[in-house]
Amino acid sequence: MGLLNQARKETEKIIDILYDGLEEKPSKKPITQRIIAKKEYLKIAKKRRQTKKQRRKAIKKQLQYINRNLGHIERLHASGAKLEWLNGQQYKMLLVVTTVYQQQLSMYENKQQRVDDRIVSLTQPHIRPIVRGKAGTPVEFGAKLSVSYHNGYVFIDRLSWDNFNESGDLKLQAEEFKIATGYYPESIHVDQIYRTKENRAWCKERGIRITGVPLGRPPKIIDSLIKKQAQDDEKFRSRIEGKFGEAKRRFSLGRVMTKLSETSQTAIAITFLVMNLSRLLRQLFAFFCISLRIDTFFVIFEFG
């Protein structure tokens, strides 16, 4: 409902621009009823508890206002108004609003809560809702990453604004590792979603050990060595989780302020680049300190 209210206000701005640009204006300015539409929206939005019937009725009214405004825009265009009078941002907003209206109308008529490629933001139409199932934030909005971790460095293998199953990236990530190093990794440390039968069989054919509990009924007696191996694997896998936390808290990955899809992808890629460069700088500094101590020791020993 809030998205439709924003879309309605954007169409009203476009109507004002097109009407003011006409040399021969019609006798009456297109009626938008913006004051009444705003009151009807606030009457429902300010309610602490909304019934399904009230929300559906309010959505219907906002859809009707947007439909009327889009009709006004078409008639103004037929009367001589040119869409070139709109700047690039306003023209893009008109296209986004039209798509939002079609999607919301389809969901309203079919009484559904989802639609393919659903737009949830007018200024960022590329963002999609991703259901995560977490306690605090069951639904997240933003880019989804598939990354790999090797020797303390993190590499972005896939970045998408749409939801995807990351288990399908395991083969590609292993092949990329082989291209970079010349051999397959000895082991791949993954969480439960990657441990599919297909990925297990693919890793077994290539002699790669995939971590996690094997398929089948668990044994009654677990060997202490197997238990310790599982604990070590889980500790090693937690490093990638720590890298995500480091990127969000120290390198501002959790606060990407860019609006466009391309600039947001660039900001995310630069975040991981700076994080990797920071690790490289720490390694060089540690190497320099060790070398300096050794040289100092030899000088003291020779002249002592």
Q: Which amino acid is at 48?
A: R
Q: How far apart are CA 214 and CA 233, in angstroms?
A: 13
**pLDDT digits 0-9 by tens, 44-65:** 999 888 899 999 999 999 999 9
- Tally of CA atoms within 13 A in the half-sphere of 128 that contains its CB: 15
Contact 63, 108 (CB under 8 A): yes
The DSSP secondary structure of 146-209, one letter per residue, reads EEEEETTEEEEEEEESS---GGGGHHHHHHHHHHHHSS--SEE---GGG--HHHHHHHHHTTPE
pLDDT of residue 303: 42
Could you say which residues of the chain have pLDDT below 70? 293-304
- H-type helices in the chain, by residue range? 2-21, 34-45, 52-78, 88-110, 170-181, 197-205, 224-249, 261-303
Contact 122, 4 (CB under 8 A): no
Domains of the chain, residue spans: 2-110
Segment holding 84, helix H or strand E = none
Helix, coil or strand: residue 221 = coil
**pLDDT digits 0-9 by tens, 123-177:** 999 998 888 777 777 888 888 889 999 888 999 999 999 888 888 899 999 999 9
- Matching residue, tokens 């880019």: 143
pLDDT of residue 293: 66
- Matching residue, tokens 């749409």: 162
Instruction: Identify the sign of the CA torsion 113, 161, 280, 230.
Output: positive
Q: How many residues does the chain have?
A: 304
Taking CB atoms within 8 Å and a gap of at least 24, the contacts of 137-142 are 142/256
Q: What is the CA radius of gyration of the chain?
A: 29
Task: Give the pTM.
Answer: 0.79
pLDDT of residue 64: 95
- DSSP letter, residue 83: G
Q: Which amino acid is at 19?
A: Y
